[in-house]
Amino acid sequence: MSDTDILDLGTYTEGSIPPPLVITFKDENGAALDLSLFEAGKFEMRRFGQTAVEKNAVISTATSGPTKGQGTYTWVAADMVPGTYTAEMWAIDTTTNRFVSRKLRWFVQPAVKVPA
């Protein structure tokens, strides 16, 4: 896997809550996939040296428009513990298909002090 296969999300700060992460699943021609029959979305994230954690993602069932082919994960503050992370988003249908995003990477830096 080369660095071009990895989407670097950048640096966050401990305790922050970034906007939701939106991934568009595309076919070999770059067109958004029709995920209308997909029943589940998973966001698998792992902090370096730790076990992977499975979280739920929302898969859009739109057959057209701007949300077609999209999966969304909504961050929570507990996701932002200092460290280096990798993740993947999965779209899973009702029969046999599974699609995976590019590998994601980000870094969480310690905060001076996380507000109450």
Q: What is the per-residue pLDDT across 90-107, written as a single tens digit (0 to 9) for each? A: 999 877 888 999 999 999
Instruction: Give the closest residue to 52 by CA, choosing from 104, 102, 14.
Output: 104
Question: Is 35 part of any domain?
Answer: yes
Range of the domain at 34: 3-106
Query: What percent of the chain is predicted at pLDDT more than 90?
Result: 78
Read off the pLDDT band of 29 (50, 70, 90): very high
Question: Is 115 part of any domain?
Answer: no
C-alpha distances (whole Å) from 10 to each of 13, 23, 65, 108 are 10, 16, 28, 9
Domain total of the chain = 1
Asked if 108 contacts 13 with a C-beta cutoff of 8 angstroms, the reply is yes
Distance of alpha carbon 59 from alpha carbon 41, whole angstroms: 6
Task: Give the tokens for residue 31.
Answer: 């067109």
- Residue 2 pLDDT > 60, yes or no? no
Task: Give the tokens for residue 6.
Answer: 């990895």
Asked if 70 contacts 64 with a C-beta cutoff of 8 angstroms, the reply is no
C-alpha distances (whole Å) from 25 to each of 32, 33, 96, 99 are 6, 6, 17, 8
Higher pLDDT, 67 or 115: 67
Sorted by sequence, the CB contacts under 8 Å of residue 30 that are 6+ apart come out as none
Distance of alpha carbon 72 from alpha carbon 57, whole angstroms: 6
What pLDDT digit, counting tens, does each position of 32-48 carry? 999 988 888 999 999 99
Supply the pLDDT for residue 4. 64
Question: Is 111 part of any domain?
Answer: no
Could you tell me the CATH number of the domain that includes residue 15? 2.60.40
